[in-house]
Homo-oligomer: A and B are copies of this chain.
Amino acid sequence: MSIHDGLRIGIFVFDEAEELDVVGPFEVFATWAEHSALKPQVSTFSWDGSGVRLAKGLRLVPAHSADDVGPLHLLVYPGGPGTRPLIAEPGHLAWLRAVQRQTPVIASVCTGALVLAAAGLLSGRPATTHRDHFDELAEIDASVLVDTEARFVDDGDVVTSAGVSAGLDMALHLVGRLESPECAQAVRHALHYEST
């Protein structure tokens, strides 16, 4: 997997994932693709490739399954009520650990951080989540250094954002980090998201 073939971004979707957690970063990264020399390719994928019903009822048909999405440079893991069953699924958590070994950046939105924590990915590291779930994050892994102020926390290969709309800001930060601040600014301009 060379970055010259295009930077590959996968957004994991599942039943009861929060709508804006999925679509905020998707919109930012897909708009980036129109302004970038890195040719980012943004795909959605569900566990088995079948359609999902998101938290507020929106039905999405993903492009791929976890088996056929292929190697990624960046995995986006959204939050939502649907994280609950995933936290309790040992096979899914083992998959996440395996993905981490071959994925340069894993980025969660909102309560997606709870699943990352359950898989052990946040052990001893700074992270954030939706403010209503700080305690839960600490309960899952007491070694997580919960940042209760940040809109997102960039710890290199693991990046976590606060609730829902913070996923937009985290995604814009990643565009700036992975390409350039000028490119992130071009995306902000295209999305009318400058003053925020």
Contact = CB atoms under 8 A, between A and B. Distances in A.
A30 B56 contact: yes
B56 A164 contact: no
Interface in A152-196: 162-166, 168, 190-193, 195-196
Nearest to A53: B61
Interface residues of A, number: 38
A131 interface: yes
Contacts of A60: 58-61
Given A44-B58, A60-B59, A192 B168 contact: no
A112 interface: no
Contact of A58 (B23, B31, B163): B23
Nearest to A110: B192
B56 A63 contact: no
A42 interface: yes
A59 B61 contact: yes
A162 B56 contact: no
Contacts of A19: 23, 26-27, 30
Interface string A76-98: 00000000000000000000000
A104 interface: no
A56 B31 contact: yes
A63 to B, nearest CB: 7
A9 to B, nearest CB: 12
A57 interface: yes
Interface of A: 18-20, 22-24, 26-27, 30-31, 33, 42, 44, 51, 56-63, 110, 130-131, 151, 162-166, 168, 190-193, 195-196
